[in-house]
C-alpha cells in the first residue's frame, strides 16, 4: 500500500531558492520609469533592501537561503504532500491526484514563505518598520507574523471591503502586533486622492499598494514589502515546488500536470517553477495557472507595460494586465483580485511555455466542498480555483481512461472564509460575467510606452 501523507525531515528543507530566470529562453524585460526608460535597480533602494533588489534582477540559478530564514521555516516546513486517495475514489478517476498543503503555516497559507525572508533581509539592512497592503488579509497576517519573528513593526493597509468582511484576519494581524487601517485612508496623499473622487470607494489592492508604497518612500526607517508579483517573491516561494519534487521522488512519481491558483503568481510560480527547470531540460510537464473569470488577467488581459498600483507610483512592468484602475467584482477569493500578474509568469505565458485557464466562482466552491468532504481539509476560496481544475483534469482522465498524475498546490485553508462558504450554501453566491466593458475602459488608460 503506497503512502497517503508524504513527509520530509527538517534537514530536507531546501538550502537554496530556485531562480527560473536562469532557465527562461529570454531575459525578463526591465521595469521602466515614468520617462519610459529602464530604471536602474538602485532606484528601488528607497523602499527595498539591497539584498532583495539583487535577487530581483539576478540571473543566478540557485540562491542560498540564509540560515535564520531556514530556522524560521522549521516552524511549519517541510509542508506535507498528500495523495488525494479519497477524492480519487469519490471521482472514480484512474488519475492519481497529489496536493502540496501550504495551509500548515501559522498564517494558514504559502505567504509566510516570502514574508520571513523579506523581514530577515530588511532587519539585516537596519530597517525597523515595514508597510504593506493586504486584500483578503492573508498577506497582511503573514507579514505581521514575520515582523514578530524578526522584531520589526508592521503597518498594513487593508482593502476596505475585506476589512469589513474579514474582521478576524484583522484581529489576527493585531495579535501578531501589526497596525491595520482600512484602505483607502485619509493618512496618505494617494488615499485622499481616491476618497476625493469616490468617498464610498470599497478599495482595491492597487489602491492599498499606492498607500503602502507612499508611506515607505517617505520614511527612512520604513521599507515596503509586497506579497506576490515581484521576482524575489516568486523566488522565495520555490521551496514549495522543490519539496514537492523530492516528496514525489520518494514515492517514485512525477506529475503530468502541475496546477495552482494565480493572483499575483507567487504560489503558482512557487510550485511550478522547479518543474519548469525540468521542462526547459526537455521533460514533458504541463504547468497550469488558474484565475477567476471575474478577474481574468492572463486569459483576457493585455501583455503591456502597466503600473503595479492604481495611482501610478510603482515602476512600469511588462505583464498581463486588465488596466491599473480596473476594479474587479467583490468575489470571495480576495487574493485573486489583482489587475496585473507576475512579469515572470506573464512572460512564460506569452511565450506559450505555461497554460492559463479562468473558472467561475460557483464552480470553485462546488469543487472546494467536494474536496473537503473527501479529504477533510477546507480550502481557501483562492485554493478552490486549483481544486476545480485538478478535479476537471481527473474527470477528463476518467472519460478517456488514460492514466495521469496530477499535482496541485493547496495554497491555504479556508478557516477564515467560512462566511463565504455560508453564502455558497445559502445560494447567495453569484458568478460574475467577464466584465468586458470595465476592462476595456481601463485598457484605454494604459500608460503609453514603447
Ligand X SMILES: *Cc1c(COP(=O)(O)O)cnc(C)c1O
Which residues make up the interface to ligand X (CB under 6 A)? 109, 111, 138, 228, 261-268, 335-336, 380, 382-383, 411-412
Of 211 and 341, nearer to ligand X (C-beta) is 341
Residue 213 C-beta: closest distance to ligand X, Å? 17
Closest C-alpha to 409, from 297, 277, 186, 245: 245
Rounded (10°) CA dihedral 268, 134, 296, 420: 100
Residue 400 C-beta: closest distance to ligand X, Å? 30
Chain residue at closest Cβ approach to ligand X: 412
Closest C-alpha to 298, from 270, 328, 320, 319: 320
Of 267 and 364, nearer to ligand X (C-beta) is 267
Alpha-carbon span 154 to 26, nearest angstrom: 37
At which residue does the C-alpha cell 505581521 appear?
144
Closest C-alpha to 146, from 106, 204, 187, 180: 106
Of 19 and 188, nearer to ligand X (C-beta) is 19
Residue 216 C-beta: closest distance to ligand X, Å? 20
Of 156 and 380, nearer to ligand X (C-beta) is 380
What pairing do the DSSP bridges indicate for beta strands 96-101 and 405-410?
A: parallel
Residue 411 C-beta: closest distance to ligand X, Å? 3
312 by DSSP, 3-state: which? coil
Residue 20 C-beta: closest distance to ligand X, Å? 15
Of 289 and 397, nearer to ligand X (C-beta) is 289
Q: State the SS3 of 51-105.
A: HHHHHHCCCCCEEECCHHHHHHHCCCCCCCEEECHHHHHHHCCCCEEEEEECCCC
What pairing do the DSSP bridges indicate for beta strands 129-134 and 222-224?
A: parallel
Of 375 and 404, nearer to ligand X (C-beta) is 375
Residue 200 C-beta: closest distance to ligand X, Å? 26
Alpha-carbon span 125 to 121, nearest angstrom: 6
Residue 172 C-beta: closest distance to ligand X, Å? 13
Amino acid at each position: 500500500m503506497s503512502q497517503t501523507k508524504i513527509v520530509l525531515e527538517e534537514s530536507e528543507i531546501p538550502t537554496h531558492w530556485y531562480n527560473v530566470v536562469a532557465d527562461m529562453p529570454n531575459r525578463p524585460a526591465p521595469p521602466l520609469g515614468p520617462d519610459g526608460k529602464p530604471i536602474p535597480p538602485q532606484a528601488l533602494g528607497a523602499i527595498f533592501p539591497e539584498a532583495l533588489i539583487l535577487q530581483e534582477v539576478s540571473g543566478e540559478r540557485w540562491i542560498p537561503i540564509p540560515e535564520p530564514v531556514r530556522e524560521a521555516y522549521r516552524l511549519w516546513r517541510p509542508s506535507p504532500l498528500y495523495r488525494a486517495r479519497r477524492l480519487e475514489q469519490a471521482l472514480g478517476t484512474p488519475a492519481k491526484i497529489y496536493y502540496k498543503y501550504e495551509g500548515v503555516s501559522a498564517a494558514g497559507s504559502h505567504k509566510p514563505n516570502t514574508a520571513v525572508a523579506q523581514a530577515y533581509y530588511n532587519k539585516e539592512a537596519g530597517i525597523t518598520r515595514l508597510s504593506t497592503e493586504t486584500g483578503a488579509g492573508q498577506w497582511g497576517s503573514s507579514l505581521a507574523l514575520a515582523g514578530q519573528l524578526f522584531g520589526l513593526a508592521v503597518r498594513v493597509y487593508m482593502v476596505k471591503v475585506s476589512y469589513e468582511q474579514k474582521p478576524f484576519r484583522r484581529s489576527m494581524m493585531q495579535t501578531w502586533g501589526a497596525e491595520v487601517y482600512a484602505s483607502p485612508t485619509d493618512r496618505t496623499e494617494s488615499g485622499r486622492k481616491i476618497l476625493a473622487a469616490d468617498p464610498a470607494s470599497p478599495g482595491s489592492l492597487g489602491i492599498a499598494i499606492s498607500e503602502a508604497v507612499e508611506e515607505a518612500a517617505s520614511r527612512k526607517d520604513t521599507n515596503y514589502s509586497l506579497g506576490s508579483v515581484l521576482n524575489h517573491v516568486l523566488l522565495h516561494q520555490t521551496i514549495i515546488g522543490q519539496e514537492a519534487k523530492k516528496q514525489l521522488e520518494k514515492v517514485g512519481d512525477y506529475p503530468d500536470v502541475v496546477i495552482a491558483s494565480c493572483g499575483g503568481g507567487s504560489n503558482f510560480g512557487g510550485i511550478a517553477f522547479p518543474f519548469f527547470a525540468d521542462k526547459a531540460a526537455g521533460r514533458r510537464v504541463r504547468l497550469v495557472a488558474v484565475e477567476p473569470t471575474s478577474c481574468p488577467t492572463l486569459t483576457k488581459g493585455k501583455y503591456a507595460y502597466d503600473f503595479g498600483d492604481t495611482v501610478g507610483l510603482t515602476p512600469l512592468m511588462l505583464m498581463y494586465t486588465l488596466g491599473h484602475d480596473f476594479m474587479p467584482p467583490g468575489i470571495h477569493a480576495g487574493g485573486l483580485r489583482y489587475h496585473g500578474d507576475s512579469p515572470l509568469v506573464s512572460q512564460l505565458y506569452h511565450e506559450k511555455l505555461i497554460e492559463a485557464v479562468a473558472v467561475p466562482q460557483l464552480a470553485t466552491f462546488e469543487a472546494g466542498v467536494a474536496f473537503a468532504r473527501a479529504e477533510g481539509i477546507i480550502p481557501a476560496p483562492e485554493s478552490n480555483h486549483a481544486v476545480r481544475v485538478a478535479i476537471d483534469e481527473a474527470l477528463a482522465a476518467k472519460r478517456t481512461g488514460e492514466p495521469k498524475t496530477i499535482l496541485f498546490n493547496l495554497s491555504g485553508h479556508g478557516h477564515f472564509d467560512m462566511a463565504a462558504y455560508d453564502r455558497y450554501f445559502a445560494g447567495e453566491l453569484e458568478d460574475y460575467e467577464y466584465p468586458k466593458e470595465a476592462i476595456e475602459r481601463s485598457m484605454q488608460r494604459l500608460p503609453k510606452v514603447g
